[in-house]
Structure 1
Amino acid sequence: MKRCLVAFAIAASLFAPVAHADDALEAKVRAYVPVVSLAKVCDIRINDATLGDHRAVLEAVKSDPNADKLAFRVHYETQTAYIKARDGGKRVAFCKDFIAANSQYAKARVTAVVEDHMSHVSTNVQKAIAYNVCGANTSAKLSKADWKPYALTKKMLEIEHKLAKENAETNGWNVTEETTAVTEQFCAAVKTR
C-alpha cells in the first residue's frame, strides 16, 4: 500500500500546478515543447530559430525543477491529444490545425520542401504546376529548358504521395486522407510562390 501511495505522490507532483516557474521560461516551454513533441508524427519541419530556442529552453529547464515538470506535462498532454485524435481517425485534421496554430515555429515538411524547390524554378514552371496539379485558372507555356524542372517537380509530388501511402499503410491510417493532405500541402506551397 505504501508503494502505491508513493507512486501516486510522485505522479501527483508531476502534474501539480507550476507555482514558481519563471514566467518567460514557462511561456517558452508552452510554445516550443508541443511543436518539437509533434514534429515527427505530424511531419513538421521546424525552423532553425525555433530549434535554437528549444535547445536553450531545454538547458534552462534543467536548472528549474518547476519548469522541468511543466515541460514533461506539456509534452505528455500534447502526445495524449495527438493519440486521441489519431485513434479517433482525425490525425490529418489534428496535424493541420496544429501546424496552422503554430505556423510561426513550423510548417508541414512537404510545404517547406516544395517552397524551397519552387524558389529555384522559373515562373512558367510554377504556373504550369499550379495549373496542372493544383487547379489554378491560368496555364503557362513551358520552354524547352522548363520541361526538366517541371518533370522533376511532378516527380517530387509522386514520391511524397508514395511515402504518404506507405506511412498510412504501415501505421493503419487512412491512405486517401494522407495523400490528399500531401497534395494540399504541395499546392499551398505552390500558391505562395
Structure 2
Amino acid sequence: MIQIKMGARQPPKEFAAISCSTRFLGWALRDWVAALLCAIGHRDPNPTAACGSVIWSMSSMKRCLAAFAIAASLFVPVTHANDALEAKVRAYVPVVSLAKVCDLRINDATSGDHRAMLEAVKSDPNANKLAYRLHYETQTAYIKARDGGQRVAFCKDFIAANSQYAKARFTAVVEDHMSDVSTSVQKAIAHNVCGAPPVKLSKADWKPYAQIKKMLQIEHKLAKENAETNGWNVTEETTAVTEQFCAAIKTR
C-alpha cells in the first residue's frame, strides 16, 4: 500500500479560485519562488509567508501583465539545459512543488541535491525556464485531480512514482516513533488498528502504546477537519491516514 497522509495540511487558498487565469498564473510564480527557494531552507510551516513575492507587491495592472508574460514564457519551447542539471530539475522540481499540498517529507539526500540544483539553475536560463514550466504543469495536474475529486489517488500515485525522493510526512513520523518502542508495542498497534493478530503488552509498554494511539487520533481529527473545511471526501481523507499508519508499521 502506498502511504500518503492526506488532509493534515491545508493547501494555499489561491487553489480555490483558479477560474481567473491571471490570479492563478501569478500564484504559480509566487509559489514556485516560495517552494523552491524557501521550503527546503526554512522551518517556517508557511514558507510563502516567510519569503514573500515580488509579483504580489505590484499594482493590479502590473500583476496582470507579469502573469501573462509568465504564461507565454511557460509554453515557449525550452532549449535543452545541461543534461545532468536538466535531469535534476525534472526529478526535484515536481516533488518540491507538491511537498505542501500532498504533505511530503523530502529525504535529506534530495534536499541537499535540490539546494545545489537551485544554485546551478541561477546561471542556466534554459534550466530556469524548464523549472518554471515543470512547476506550472505539476500544479495544474494536481488542481485538475483535486477538483475532480481525485486528490487522494493523485497524491498516492505521485508519491509512488517519486518514492526515492520523498515519502508521506506522517509515514515518516510513524516510522520514527516505531523505532523508539518495543516490538510488542508495534504488534499491539498493528492488531488494534490494522487487524493483525493480538499480542500481550507488559506494564511498561502501555504508556508508549497509548501515546502512539493518541498520535493517530490527532491525525484523524486533523484530516477530518481539513476535509470538511476544503470540501474533500472525509472518508477518503481519514482512511488514507489509517492506511499510511499501517503501512509505516509494516515497514518496521
Choose the corresponding residue for 1:28, options 82, 88, 101: 88
| Gaps in structure 2 of 5+ consecutive residues | 1-66
Residue correspondence of structure 1 range 113-128 to structure 2 within 5 A: 113-128=173-188
Q: Say yes or no: does 1:143 pair with 2:143.
A: no
* 8 A Cα contact 1:15 1:69, kept in partner: no
Aligned to 2:220, which of 161, 169, 173? 161
**Corresponding residue of 2:135:** 75
Aligned residue among 175, 185, 188 for 2:244: 185
| 1:82–1:94 Cα contact (<8 Å) kept | yes
Aligned-pair Cα RMSD in Å: 1.6
What TM-score results when the alignment is normalised by the length of structure 2?
Answer: 0.71
Q: Are 2:161 and 1:101 aligned? A: yes
Larger relative contact order (C-alpha < 8 A, sep ≥ 6)?
Answer: 2
- The residue number in structure 1 matching 2:170 is 110
Larger Rg: 1
How many residue pairs were aligned? 187
The secondary structure found in structure 1 opposite 2:172 is helix
Q: C-alpha deviations, 1:22-53, integer Å up to 9, x for none? A: 01111100100000000010011111111111
**Rounded Cα–Cα distance in structure 1 between residues aligned with 2:166 and 2:80:** 29
Separation in structure 2 between the aligned mates of residue 151 and residue 126 of structure 1, nearest angstrom: 12
How far apart are 1:15 and its partner, in Å? 2.2
Partner-residue secondary structure (3-state), 1:107: strand
How far, CA to CA, are the matches of 1:9 and 1:163 in structure 2? 39
Equivalent position amino acid for 1:157 in 2: L
Distance 1:58 1:89, change over 3 A: same
The 2-side partners of 1:157 and 1:129 are apart by 10
Structure 1 residue corresponding to 2:146, chosen from 65, 76, 86: 86
TM-superposition CA deviations, 1:54-101 (whole Å, max 9, x none): 111111111111100000000000000000000000000000000111
Retained in 1: the 8 A contact 2:121–2:127? Answer: yes
